[in-house]
Amino acid sequence: MATKPAQRRLTKEYAAMQREPPPFIWAAPDEKNILTWNYLIRGPPDSPFAGGEYHGVLLFPSEYPFKPPGIKMYTPSGRFQPDKKICFSMSDFHPGSWNPAWSVQTILTGLLSFMLSDEMTTGSVTSSDAHKRAFAGRSHAWNLTQSRFRDAFPEYCAPELQDLPNMGEKERGKPDPSTSPSSTSSEAVKSNPLPPDSSSSRLGNVANATAPIALPSSTRGRVDEVATNRANAAVGWIGTFRQVILEKWRWCAVLALAVMVSRFSTAS
């Protein structure tokens, strides 16, 4: 009988499993007992377990998450003894090393990592990679003969092996079709199309900005007229200035002549 903390915690973890399952792993609680979880592990493609399907069970204590679960694997794998508890750091063989923050996802990810290693422990067996590949090839057919498997995973009882929800696509960098950059880019192009060669267009804009500007004939005429008027005005202003200078020079000459005549008259 699950305590309220265990019930609450395992319900939350099942929601997390459905929302974001770890790679090559799927698990679900028994309909009659939330403390018993059936799991499936698929062998990663770069391992001797590639193509294998491994069914097992997690046996949670009523004190979970403050105590670790017992772990078994039913499907023959060449790595663990079928239907025997497995000893590793996240199982009930090591309650002293258990961390209450660990979850179902953490436990099964650790189990898969331990399965891919060569470390020997209680519940493990020794076999060659060839034997592991042979067990992997027979695993699904063997599971179909087991009532425990059929009751726990009826959706995976088809004659052909079926993929789990997460077959490692994210970890291998495989894009999600619904959110892939290509689809996003294509939508962006549709909504905001760009010229076929935006770089050439930008270079063309720069070249056009620095090239001489061709004006209409009417505009050129007005510009020429303004320039002519300004030139005439400048010439007229210079002429006026010269005329003023000449007039002042004449007056100075007349005054100087008058002074000289006056001096000569006084002297005589």
Active-site residues, by number, are 87
The span from the CA of 16 to the CA of 201, in Å, is 50
Beta-carbon neighbour count of residue 114 at 10 Å?
20
The span from the CA of 245 to the CA of 250, in Å, is 9
Of 97, 100, 92, residue with least CA distance to 70: 92
CB 164 within 8 A of CB 42: yes
CB 53 within 8 A of CB 153: no
Cβ burial of 90 (10 Å; 0-12, 13-18, 19+) is: buried
